[in-house]
Amino acid sequence: MAHEVSFFDDVNRNFDQAAVLTKHPPGLLKQIKMCNGVYHISFPLKRDDGSIETIHAWRAEHSHHKLPVKGGIRYSVAVNEDEVKALAALMTYKCALVDVPFGGAKGGVKIDRRFYSQNEIERITRRYTYELTKKSFIGAGIDVPAPDYGTGPQEMAWMADTFAALSTGELDSLACVTGKPVSQGGVRGRMEATGRGVYFGIREACSHVEDMKALGLNSGLNDKRVIVQGLGNVGYYAAKFLRKGGAIITGIAEYDGAIYNPGGLDVGSVKSHQKETGSIMEFPGAKSIKDTSSLLEYECDILVPAALENQITRENAPRIKAKIIAEAANGPITSEGHSILKEHGRMIIPDTFLNAGGVTVSYFEWLKNLSHVRFGRMGKRFEESTNLGMLRAMEKMSGKSFSEEEIQFLVQGAGEEDLVNSGLEETMINAFQEIRGIKDKHNNEIDLRTAAFISAIDKVAQSYMELGIFP
């Protein structure tokens, strides 16, 4: 049996393929690639029935070239040291690529949260935060976690509250985590951020006529058939925005099955059905598929893996029919699977770029917590007053009046969510243009993933050189 490559080794394979195309010294490249530190925690949990269980958890800090380090916390039975190291490395490259000034980190607790009560999850989260605080693996200027698979705003609120209780008098304690509820220091737009970023990234990739022509597709999103794997936070919002942008969502896969309708699925209705029944299966008007992974091999224009890593491997990659694979999850395609897809002429929009919307808006939330003021609060009314004055002047000069609806639309100032979404859109467009430019610079002999790694490596290397560590 062939040796199975670890997730961290798989990430490093992609790193090495890009690193040989740079001019940085071997010692510097080795420093960038290595994981700076991993903390393995074990602690007892008293279950609601009185029994005692040992919980295992990790936090990996991959790179300290910039502080704080940043990365999500996932609750999953698949969590292990290799996984958190790999995900922390991806965070380093992701932050560098989109010019977010963080190093990369990741954490996880090895549990299946479906088998724990809400009170037990709270106790696990607070104890995990306590352990991180003891070893200085959390703090606004040190290490800033965020939600990931199996966690959300509630867990982040518990973490922030626990950290604040242990750090009496620290003014910026709310900035110790991001992805919090808005009422607890979160930022508007964070919940949708990763999925919205996926949409912006796919939209930008599909806007280039020559790139789409090479795939046998028209430019733009209109009528492109899309299959989404995963209807969690990322997959749901990505599918929702893609559908709103003109794409047709033909298939959705979840852990317990998949549904397919070539005429299109209403994403909101599918989500409501899932909440009501506990599953997307038996959605009215759609074909239900028990073998959920088989949906990845259906005919479509864009496949969006938005679940977990290692979903497309050398085993199923030859059967993937999508012309564009958009990595909304972290590491959904193995390096061997990637090579096969590339040989078959597929476009792969890499995770280091495509799912960076979450960390981008987490950066905005972190800035908000440090500044202690809501985005838009200082200038919204002034902006509206200025815009109204300009409209009135235009009415006076033209002799024509605007309707109340037109005035309301044209004078409105930017609120917090408007600014967050605008900043996210700007970030995703600029990052794609950058990696596409690197690809062009190499005469299109490299793919977008390698171009993204080259960009990230160059930026991290520049930070180390500016610190005087390397010549």
Q: Where exactly are the structural domains of the chain?
A: 38-184, 216-344
Q: Any idea which residues carry the catalytic annotation?
A: 106
Q: How confident is the model at residue 389 (pLDDT cuts 50, 70, 90)?
A: confident
pLDDT tens for 126-179 read: 999 999 999 999 999 999 999 998 999 999 999 999 999 999 888 999 999 999
Residue 313 sits at φ, ψ, to 5 deg, of -125, -175
Please say whether the structural domain 216-344 has been given the CATH code 3.40.50.720: yes
- The mean per-residue pLDDT over the stretch 69-79 comes to 96
Report the distance separating Cα 350 and Cα 149, nearest Å: 19
Helices (H), 219-318: 233-244, 267-277
**Contact by Cβ (8 Å): 414, 423:** no
Say yes or no to pLDDT of 471 above 80.
no
Q: What is the pTM of this model?
A: 0.90
Query: What DSSP line would sit under 425-438, residue for residue?
Result: HHHHHHHHHHHHHH
Q: Which residue is listed with tokens 């808006």?
A: 361
For residue 339, the surrounding DSSP H or E stretch is helix 335-343
**Contact by Cβ (8 Å): 449, 352:** yes
Q: How confident is the model at residue 183 (pLDDT cuts 50, 70, 90)?
A: very high
**Contact by Cβ (8 Å): 320, 346:** yes
Helices (H), 167-265: 190-205, 209-214, 233-244
> Would 38-184 and 216-344 be classified into the same CATH topology?
yes
- The fourth-level CATH superfamily of domain 38-184 is Leucine Dehydrogenase, chain A, domain 1 (3.40.50.10860)
- The mean per-residue pLDDT over the stretch 27-52 comes to 96
Report the distance separating Cα 241 and Cα 197, nearest Å: 10
Report the distance separating Cα 146 and Cα 288, nearest Å: 34
pLDDT of residue 2: 45
Residues facing residue 40 across a β-bridge: 58
Task: Return the HEC string of 383-426.
Answer: HHHHHHHHHHHHHHHHCCCCCHHHHHHHHCCCCHHHHHHHHHHH
Label the pairing between strands 69-75 and 103-109.
parallel
Structure tokens at 413: 């100032």
Helices and strands, number each (H, E), in the chain: 16, 12
